[in-house]
A and B are shown apart, each in its own frame.
Chain A
Amino acid sequence: MATMDVAGNSVEVDEEGYLTNINDWDKDVAIELAKSENLEMTESHWEVIEFLREYYQEYQIAPAVRVLTKAIGKKLGPEKGNSKYLYELFPYGPAKQACKIAGLPKPTGCI
Chain B
Amino acid sequence: MAADFQTPEFREYPAVPNKLVPDATAHLSPFVAKPDHNEKLGFPGELVDNWHDKAIEKMGDLLGKYRGLQVFLDACVKCGSCTDKCHYFQGTSDPKNMPVARQDLLRSVYRRHFTFAGKYFPKLVGARELDREVLDEWYSYFHQCSQCRRCSVFCPYGIDTAEISMAAREILDTVGYGQKYCNEILGKVQTVGNNLGLPGPALKATMAEFEEEMEDDTGLPIKLPIDVQGADVLLITPSADFFAEPHIDGLMGYAKVFHEAGINWTLSSYAAEAANFSMFIGSYSNMKTVAERIRTAALDLGVKRIMVGECGHAWRVAYSFWNTVAGVGSGAAEDDEYGQKLQKQLDHRYPIPQHICEFTHGLLQEGKLRLDPAANDHRTVTFHDSCNVARASRMGDKPGGQFDIPRALLKAACNNYVDMDPDTIREVTYCCGGGGGLLTDDLMEIRVKGALPRMEALKDVMQNQGVTNMAAICAICKAQFAKVMPYFDIPMDTILSTHQIVGDALVLTGSTQETALDGGDDSSEKTEEAAEATE
Query: Which residues of chain B from 181 to 199 have any CB-CB distance to chain A below 8 Å in the complex?
Result: 181, 184-185, 188, 194-199
A4 located at the interface, meaning its Cβ lies under 8 Å from any Cβ of chain B in the complex:
no
Count chain B CB atoms within 10 A of each CB in A15, A95, A96, A111 and give the residue with the most: A111
The answer to whether A83 and B245 have CB atoms under 8 Å apart is yes
Q: Given the complex, which residues of A lie within 8 Å of B79, measured CB to CB?
A: none
Cross-interface CB contact of A66 among B181, B196, B239, B248, cutoff 8 Å: B248
Closest chain A CB from B314 CB (angstroms): 10
The answer to whether B244 and A65 have CB atoms under 8 Å apart is yes
The answer to whether A61 and B202 have CB atoms under 8 Å apart is yes
Closest chain A CB from B197 CB (angstroms): 6
Query: Which residues of chain B from 70 to 94 have any CB-CB distance to chain A below 8 Å in the complex?
Result: none
The answer to whether B442 and A110 have CB atoms under 8 Å apart is no
SS of B interface (majority): helix
A60 located at the interface, meaning its Cβ lies under 8 Å from any Cβ of chain B in the complex:
yes
Q: Mark A59-89, 1 if CB is under 8 A from B, else 0.
A: 1110111110010000000000001000000
Given contacts A59-B199, A65-B244, A66-B248, is CB(A96)–CB(B441) below 8 Å?
Answer: yes
Cross-interface CB contact of B243 among A15, A105, A107, cutoff 8 Å: A107
Cross-interface CB contact of A108 among B185, B206, B483, cutoff 8 Å: B185
A109 located at the interface, meaning its Cβ lies under 8 Å from any Cβ of chain B in the complex:
yes
A32 located at the interface, meaning its Cβ lies under 8 Å from any Cβ of chain B in the complex:
no
Chain B interface residue count, Cβ-Cβ cutoff 8 angstroms: 39
SS of A interface (majority): loop
Q: Given the complex, which residues of B lie within 8 Å of A15, measured CB to CB?
A: 31, 442
Closest chain B CB from A64 CB (angstroms): 4
Q: Given the complex, which residues of A lie within 8 Å of B238, measured CB to CB?
A: 109-110
Q: Given the complex, which residues of B lie within 8 Å of A92, measured CB to CB?
A: 1
Q: Mark B233-246, 1 if CB is under 8 A from A, else 0.
A: 00000111011110
The answer to whether B240 and A109 have CB atoms under 8 Å apart is yes
Q: Given the complex, which residues of A lie within 8 Å of B377, measured CB to CB?
A: none
Query: Which residues of chain B from 1 to 51 have any CB-CB distance to chain A below 8 Å in the complex?
Result: 1-2, 31
Count chain B CB atoms within 10 A of each CB in A15, A37, A67, A108 and give the residue with the most: A108
Q: Given the complex, which residues of B lie within 8 Å of A38, measured CB to CB?
A: 2
The answer to whether B476 and A67 have CB atoms under 8 Å apart is no
Closest chain A CB from B399 CB (angstroms): 28
Q: Give the complex CA separation of A60 and B200 in angstroms.
A: 10
Given contacts A16-B441, A60-B202, A65-B244, is CB(A111)–CB(B479) below 8 Å?
Answer: yes
Q: Given the complex, which residues of A lie within 8 Å of B245, measured CB to CB?
A: 65-66, 83
Cross-interface CB contact of A110 among B184, B198, B202, B479, cutoff 8 Å: B479
Q: Given the complex, which residues of B lie within 8 Å of A96, measured CB to CB?
A: 1, 441
Q: Residue of B at shortest CB range from A84?
A: B493
Chain A interface residue count, Cβ-Cβ cutoff 8 angstroms: 25
Given contacts A64-B242, A64-B243, A64-B244, is CB(A108)–CB(B201) below 8 Å?
Answer: no
Given contacts A92-B1, A109-B243, A111-B243, is CB(A61)–CB(B198) below 8 Å?
Answer: yes
Cross-interface CB contact of B248 among A60, A64, A109, cutoff 8 Å: A64
Q: Give the complex CA separation of A97 and B2 in angstroms.
A: 12
Q: Give the complex CA separation of A93 and B1 in angstroms.
A: 11
The answer to whether A65 and B243 have CB atoms under 8 Å apart is yes
Closest chain A CB from B37 CB (angstroms): 11
The answer to whether B184 and A108 have CB atoms under 8 Å apart is yes
B439 located at the interface, meaning its Cβ lies under 8 Å from any Cβ of chain A in the complex:
yes
Q: Given the complex, which residues of B lie within 8 Å of A108, measured CB to CB?
A: 181, 184-185, 188, 195-197
Q: Residue of B at shortest CB range from A97?
A: B1
B336 located at the interface, meaning its Cβ lies under 8 Å from any Cβ of chain A in the complex:
no
Closest chain B CB from A53 CB (angstroms): 15
B213 located at the interface, meaning its Cβ lies under 8 Å from any Cβ of chain A in the complex:
yes
Q: Given the complex, which residues of A lie within 8 Å of B479, measured CB to CB?
A: 110-111
Given contacts A65-B243, A110-B476, is CB(A59)–CB(B195) below 8 Å?
Answer: no
Closest chain B CB from A38 CB (angstroms): 8
Q: Residue of A at shortest CB range from B198?
A: A61
Closest chain A CB from B173 CB (angstroms): 18
Given contacts A37-B1, A59-B199, A64-B248, is CB(A111)–CB(B240) below 8 Å?
Answer: yes
Q: Given the complex, which residues of B lie within 8 Å of A110, measured CB to CB?
A: 195, 238-240, 244, 247, 275, 311, 439, 475-476, 478-479
The answer to whether A67 and B195 have CB atoms under 8 Å apart is no
Give 9 CB contacts A-B under 8 Å: A37-B1, A38-B2, A60-B199, A64-B244, A66-B213, A67-B209, A108-B196, A110-B439, A110-B475
Apart from A63-B206, A92-B1, A109-B240, list 12 A-B contacts with CB within 8 A. Answer: A16-B31, A66-B245, A67-B205, A67-B209, A93-B483, A105-B197, A108-B195, A109-B196, A110-B439, A110-B476, A110-B478, A111-B243
Binding site for A on B (CB under 8 A): 1-2, 31, 181, 184-185, 188, 194-199, 201-202, 205-206, 209-210, 213, 238-240, 242-245, 247-248, 275, 311, 439, 441-442, 475-476, 478-479, 483
Binding site for B on A (CB under 8 A): 15-16, 37-38, 59-61, 63-67, 70, 83, 92-93, 95-97, 105, 107-111
